[in-house]
Amino acid sequence: MSTLALSRRRPAHGSGALALGISTLWLSLIVLIPLAAVVARSFEDGVGAFWDAVSNRQAVDALKFTLLVSLATVIINAVTGTLLAWVLVRDRFPGKKVVNAVIDLPFALPTIVAGLTLLALYGPNSPFGINVAFTQFAVLLALLFVTLPFVVRSVQPVLIEADREMEEAAISLGASNRTVFLRIILPNLAPAILSGAGLAFARAVGEFGSIVLISGNIPFDTQVSSVYIFKLIESDAPISAAAVSVVLLFVSLVVLLLIRTLGQYRPGAARGFFVSRRDRGKDQEAAS
C-alpha cells in the first residue's frame, strides 16, 4: 500500500472519530444526562421511598390502565395503519395528496390542541351528539389520534420498494390473493409494522397533552400515568413523580428493545412459498 493511500485515509478516520465524539456528546447532553438526573432524583429518599411511590394503589392502577390502553392503541393502529399505507401506495383516488398530508397532522398539531379538538367533537357539546368525554374510550380515541402516523410512515417506504414481480409470479403459479399477502407481502412488512408499533407504544405510554382534557383524570378509572405524574408535581411530590417516571421510562425502553429485536428477524416465508411450489412441480414431473 502506498504512502499516498495511507495519507488519504487518515483524515477520514480522524473526521469519523470527531463526528462520533460530537454525536456522543450531543446525545449525552440531550438524552443521557437528563435521564440519569431523573433516575437519581427518584432515589433521593432511598429505595424504600421509591418502592412506596411506585407500588401504591393509585400509581399501580394508573400504570395498568396506561399499559392496557397503549396496547389496545398499538393493535388497532397496526391494522389500520397498514391498511392506510397500502391504500396510499397501491391505490389511486382523488384527494390522495390531501389524505397523505392529513396523516402527518398529529405530528404537527400541538397535542393540547388535539385534546381540545376531540373534546369539541366528542364532548358534552358534540355536534354529532356523541359524548364520550371523561371515559376510558376517550383516552383510547386520543391515543389513536396522536399515534396514527407511526405505523403508516413505517410501512409506506417498504411497500413502495416492494418487489411486485414476486407477487405476480406467485399469482401466476396459482396462489390466491390471501396466500400472496400472508406468505409474501406480510413477512416483508412485519419488521416495519413492528417498528411503527413500538414507536406508537412508546408515544402512547408517555402521552399527556391530548389526554389531560378529555380523560377527566378520574383516579382508578381514566387516570393515566403521565397525568398522575403531573398531579404529583402539583402536589409538591417531585420525588414520587420522578419514581413513576422512571417506571414509564423502563417500560418504554424494554418495549423498544424488544420490538427492535423482533424487527431484525425476517422470516423467509416468500422464499419458502416458491421452494414449496418448485418441489411440488418436481414431484408431479417425477410422478408423470
Domain spanning 46-277, CATH architecture? Orthogonal Bundle (1.10)
Enter the pTM of the model: 0.81
The domain limits of the chain are 10-42, 46-277
What is the structure's pLDDT at 275? 44
| pLDDT confidence band for 13 (50 / 70 / 90) | low
The number of C-alpha atoms within 13 Å of 100 and in the hemisphere containing its C-beta is 13
Residue pLDDT, tens place only, 49-106: 999 999 999 999 999 999 999 999 999 999 999 999 999 998 888 988 899 889 988 8
Mean pLDDT of 15-37: 88
Q: Which pLDDT belongs to residue 107?
A: 86
**What 3-state DSSP class applies to 226?**
helix
CA–CA dist 42, 22 (Å, integer) = 29
Distance (Å, rounded) from C-alpha 266 to C-alpha 7? Answer: 41
Cell numbers given for 144: 389513536
pLDDT in tens, 216-249: 889 999 999 999 999 999 999 999 999 999 999 9
Report the largest interatomic distance among the alpha carbons of the chain, rounded to a whole angstrom.
Answer: 83
pLDDT, residue 7, reads: 46
Quote the pLDDT of residue 259: 77
Q: Nearest-5° angle of CA 239, CA 243, CA 247?
A: 165
- At CA 48, angle to CA 47 and CA 50, rounded to 5? 65
Helices (H) and strands (E) in the chain, counts: 15, 0
> What pLDDT digit, counting tens, does each position of 123-134 carry?
888 888 889 999
Can you tell me whether residue 34 is helix, strand or coil? helix
